[in-house]
Structure formats: structure tokens, C-alpha cells
Amino acid sequence: MSLESCLRRLRRKGLFRSLFGVGEGPIWLICDPLGVIFAGVTYFLIGYGVFAVAAITILPEISVLTVFQFSLFVCCAYLALTSHIKAMMTNPGTVPLGTEGRDVMKEYCDMYETDEDEENDDREERRRYCQPCNAPKPYRAHHCRTCERCIRKADHHCIWVNNCIGENNMKFFVLFNLYICVISVLALIYLFIHMAKCAQWDWKKHCVYYSDVGTFLIMMFLFMEALMFSLFCCVMGLNILHAIQTDETAIDKYKRETSGGKYNVQRGGSKRLSNIEAVFGRPKSILWLSPLTTSRVCAYLQRSALTHRV
């Protein structure tokens, strides 16, 4: 049974929809071998984090504090896992293929073009044509060779989520980095608390659930994993948030720098909040932190885009 067939069966049973908020309809999944491997590594590292935190919290000593610590970590790990699945299985903002996409293309271009854009750039020049997709290529769309599609507002192709990061899944990518950073910081805090307790208690009686060497290796690998990913995801998350605020993706920035400033799409100042709301949803609410919701703009674009068969 193929991977897509298994996923379809799970979707029909409602497992993905109920646990991870994956919507109905065709599955978006890029079958890039390297991307699938890195996505699997991501799930392994999250699972190891849960196991290692259990080994230094509830397994040596079950108390109200350790149960709370472990429960908090599991909740944040679930949000990180859900954010990753949504980022990987959400259409990032593909441009419709072939002649079927021509009617939708006008809506795409009209939605993002302003009077200032029309004054600075020729409308026909902005609507380029993509030969591999056999379809018009709207302004700020980029053709991804891995996804084999043109992606609206593409920032980059992330091998860790096995998908392009575009206008439809940018929120989930930000939340994925946020919650990975949170669980990494929690793991470091729990490690320091555990070591402080072990310095005062009997090591073998209160701090070791497995063997001495096994416990040491678990703690050492958890420390290296948490330290590395807390720094990496913090930097990546802040970089994406800055791109959302200024409405300038990494590809837009590269084009601006290589064109000597002629290509400039930055819209900062008073529009920073509206740029964020376009990605996370309107109005401002606690749902911004939920990977189970999306903005109305992204929901509309997901319904408009054609599906990608894998």
C-alpha cells in the first residue's frame, strides 16, 4: 500500500482531521525522498525529546510538579508536531496549472496589485509565463523545482517540513519554529532543575531510572539537541516574522539586492500589523497561536488553487 493510500484511509476515518486539523479534499504531499527523510528525523527528535524529558521528570520521581512539567512539555510537543504536519500538508499557495488557471489568475493578480504597483511596473511584464507549469506566472510567484509548481510569495523550500514555505502555510511554519523553540527551552530548564536536585540527593536513588551510563547519555543528547534547535528555530522564526512584517520574503529580498533596489516590495510602517493579520488571521486573538486555524485569505487561496497530485 502506497503512502498516499494510507493517508487517504486515515483521512476518511477522521484521524488527521480531529488530531491535526488537516482539512478535507485532496492530499498535498511532496514525495521528495530527502524531504521525507528529514521530516521523519524531525518526528524522531520530537519523540526523543518527550522520552528524554520523561526520563528526567516523572520516571525518577512522580509528584505534582513532575507531572505538570511533563504534561506541559507534551502539550507543546503536540502543538509543534501539529504545526509541522500542517506546514507539510498545506498547499503553500500554488498557481493553477495550464489553461484552467487563467480564470483564477486574474483574481490572484487583482488581489495583490495596487495603484502604486501599476505605476511602477508594467502590468503585462508583471504577469510572466512559466513554461514548466504551462501557466501565467503572477507577480512575486517563484517556481520551485522540488515542488514542480509556482508558489505565491515563496520564501524558501524547507527540507525539514518537506514543502515550500509560501503564503498559505507561513503561519504554520512560524508556529512550528515557535513551539520547537519552546520545548527546547523547557528541556534545558528541566535539565538544570534535575541536575540541581541530583547535586543534593543520592544520584542512584533519586536521579537514575536506567543505568548510570544510559542516564548520562540521555541527558547529554537531550542537552545538545535542545541547545542547537532552540538557537536555530529562534533565529529562523524571527527571520520569518520579519519577512511577514515587511511583506518581503527571502526571494524578494534577494531580487531587491541583485536588482540594485529596483525590485522592492517592502510595505512596512503602518501596514506591519495588517501584514501579520493577513497571515495569522483577523482580528488579533489567541487563535494566532493555534495551528488548527488559518486566516480567511489563506483559506480562500487554498480553495482557489488546484491540487498537486503525488
- Give the residue numbers marked as catalytic: 158
Question: Per residue in 150-183, is it b (16+ CB within 10 Å) or e — as a string?
Answer: bbbbbbbbbbbbbbbbbbbbbbbbbbbbbbbbbb
Strand, helix or coil for residue 101: helix
Say how far apart CA 92 and CA 155 lie, in whole Å.
10
In degrees, rounded to 5, the angle at the alpha carbon of residue 9 between the alpha carbons of residues 6 and 14 is: 125
C-beta separation of 253 from 156 below 8 A? no
Strand, helix or coil for residue 151: strand
Q: Which residues contact 300 (CB under 8 A, 6 or more apart)?
A: none
Helices 272-280 & 170-200 angle (0-180, nearest 10)? 90
Say how far apart CA 302 and CA 293 lie, in whole Å.
13
Closest to 177 in 3D by CA, of 253, 275, 291, 11: 291
Strand, helix or coil for residue 263: coil
C-beta separation of 92 from 169 below 8 A? yes
**Phi, psi (deg, nearest 5) at residue 303:** -70, -30
Say how far apart CA 301 and CA 195 lie, in whole Å.
50
Peptide bond preceding 283 in cis form (omega within 30 of 0): yes
Chain centre to alpha carbon of residue 190: 26
Q: Which residues contact 308 (CB under 8 A, 6 or more apart)?
A: 26, 28, 30, 91, 94, 147, 148, 149
**The residue to which cell 521530516 is assigned:** 39
